[in-house]
Structure 1
Amino acid sequence: MMMNLFSSFDPSTSFNLSLNWLSTLIGLMMIPPFFWLIPSRLNMMWLLIIITLHKEFKIIMNKNSQGSTLIFISLFMFILMNNFLGLFPYIFTSTSHMTLTLSMALPLWLSFMIYGWTNHTMHMFTHLVPQGTPGILMPFMVCIETISNIIRPGTLAIRLSANMIAGHLLLTLLGNTGSSMTIMLLNILLITQILLLILESAVSIIQAYVFVVLSSLYSSETN
């Protein structure tokens, strides 16, 4: 039972090939036509989201560089697209795997660290000791801050994948019990599944936003 349940998170369940990872690229195939068509309501909605995110990330990063927010906006759109695609039946949720989430979080964190320690070494050292720390606690605070800094890419990756797995797993568990229920309980289950699907849609947006905001906060600490 458990093997069958968790097999929905196995990317190599069809034809003995990892074809499910192709769902990561489905959205990229649909994006290019947007640039060649007359602006529609969908275009205006995307532009509004991009402008709002740009303003917010610029405030977080505390700098006026014109292109500094583009990488975070692109990352938000990529994660959001994959989270939403995973809500459709028989489409593999690529963001539920550490393979994808860690490959996004680790290079970002590593580039911030290399840039910060190379160009702002003293500034990075000051972050290891919070202001107002007593002298006797400084060695412990350095160890704590160093460990919390090192585990950042892991927490980013685990947070995204765990939230994606949890919701889909709950939907799968409830869906598997439907065959043994009466009509009355089946109606209640259907309403519950619809409410959970709405919740998962909100979680898809929130988790993409949290991932990108935390990444931008980490980048602001290196300047």
Structure 2
Amino acid sequence: MMASLFSSFDPSANLNLPLNWLSSFIGMLLIPPLFWISPSRSSLIWNKILTTLHKEFKILMASNKMNGSTILFISLFSFVLFNNSLGLFPYIFTSTSHLSFTLTLALPLWLSFMIFGWINNTIHMLAHLVPQGTPPALMPFMVCIETISNVIRPGTLAVRLTANMIAGHLLLTLLGNTGNSLSIYMINILIIVQLMLLTLESAVSVIQAYVFAVLSTLYSSEVN
């Protein structure tokens, strides 16, 4: 039971090859239509969303020194959102349900921010370790606390995304496996509950992609 339950999160496919990871790159097939002379309605809606995200990320960064850097976080949002949404379809591998995938996104991003900050803005980074108004007696403890909270940031980014994606998928799988032993009346109720959970999971996919991108933007704004 447990083996079959978690088999949907197994990255290996036939011949023990990790072919399921290829689902993360299917979105690249959708990029060419964005460059047509006469874009479709879906392209116009998506461009409107990206423009809104660009304005919001620009406000969060609050710096004119990093012009164009919002493209990085918009691309990150789009990539995570695509993989989250793709996992809602049956028999399609959910890449963002694995720590190996989310840590690959979060760790290099955070590490690049830290290297850039400590090399170019060393005094500013040191000032972040002691919040303003901290009593002198508590400063050593605050440095330890702020250092630990800073180090665990990539882990919290990755675990938050992974846990939210796994939880909803497991709940849908558990409820779906009970359908064989239910009556017709209960199956109708189960289908309604499954549709409601699927709607909730669709919202969670968008929210988690937005949270991942916004937190990455806030972490980058602290190094300037």
In structure 2, the partner of 1:89 is 90
Matches of residues 143-182 of structure 1 in structure 2 within 5 Å? 143-182=144-183
1:196 offset after TM fit, Å?
0.3
Q: How many residues align?
A: 223
In structure 2, the partner of 1:73 is 74
In structure 2, the partner of 1:63 is 63
Aligned partners of 1:219, 1:34: CA distance in 2, in Å?
Answer: 28
After superposition, the CA RMSD in angstroms is 0.9
Q: Deviations over 1:22-67 (max 9, x none)?
A: 1101111122222125112111111111110000000000113431
TM-score, length basis structure 2: 0.97
Equivalent position amino acid for 1:46 in 2: W
- SS class of match (1:63): coil
1:94 offset after TM fit, Å?
0.3
In structure 2, the partner of 1:131 is 132
- SS class of match (2:210): helix
Q: Do the aligned residues in 1 keep the contact of 2:60 with 2:217 (CA within 8 Å)?
A: yes
Q: Do the aligned residues in 1 keep the contact of 2:96 with 2:165 (CA within 8 Å)?
A: yes
1:7 offset after TM fit, Å?
1.2
In structure 2, the partner of 1:36 is 36
Equivalent position amino acid for 2:100 in 1: T
5+ unaligned residues in a row in structure 2: which ranges?
none
Identity %: 71
5+ unaligned residues in a row in structure 1: which ranges?
none
